[in-house]
Amino acid sequence: MSNPFNDRVIAEFRANKGVVGEPFEGTDLLLLTTKGARSGQERTTPLVYLPGGERELVVFALNGGAPTAPAWYHNLRAHPGDLTVEVGGDRYRARHVEIEDGEAYEELWRRQIAIEPKFAGFRAKAGRRVPLVGLTRA
């Protein structure tokens, strides 16, 4: 199932080597391609990311503050070896790790909320422990 909003963002991202306009203008954005948990088909999702370390990008499985995790999160758990990340004009195979340590987890939240305050509202609205996922080059 295609999402017209995401399709537009993905096309703009790829055409401009990672640069997109509103509502993501000036935001660190990546494209994560996973294999569908049930369908096995490739699914690409634009995601806001936070640099988590020297080579790690951290994404937040917020799903807009929904009570359930987003499809991309279920996909990467079902097919952890089938991840591709696009950042700027760079595209690479990736691996993931869930960030569960309490102190590191909370520090990443603090950093992201300082950059994008609306993430605090999404986190509160979700009413669940939102998975944080570190992505690194495979």
**What pLDDT, on a 0 to 100 scale, did the predictor assign at position 1?**
58
**What pLDDT, on a 0 to 100 scale, did the predictor assign at position 3?**
86
What is the spatial distance between Cα 31 and Cα 15, in angstroms, rounded to a whole number?
Answer: 13
Q: Report the 10 Å Cβ neighbour count for 90.
A: 11
pLDDT tens for residues 21-53? Answer: 998 888 999 999 999 999 999 999 999 999 987
What is the spatial distance between Cα 75 and Cα 7, in angstroms, rounded to a whole number?
Answer: 18
Query: Taking phi first (over 0 means left), then psi (-120 to 50 degrees means alpha), and beta for anything else, what does residue 123 get?
Result: alpha
Do 95 and 85 contact (CB within 8 A), yes or no? no
DSSP letter at 89? T
pLDDT tens for residues 76-112? Answer: 999 999 999 999 999 999 999 999 889 999 999 999 9
Pairing of strands 42-51, 29-35: antiparallel
Domain boundaries, the chain: 4-137
Measured in whole angstroms, how far is the alpha carbon of residue 16 from the centre of its chain? Answer: 19
Q: Which CATH fold would you assign to the domain 4-137?
A: Pnp Oxidase; Chain A (2.30.110)
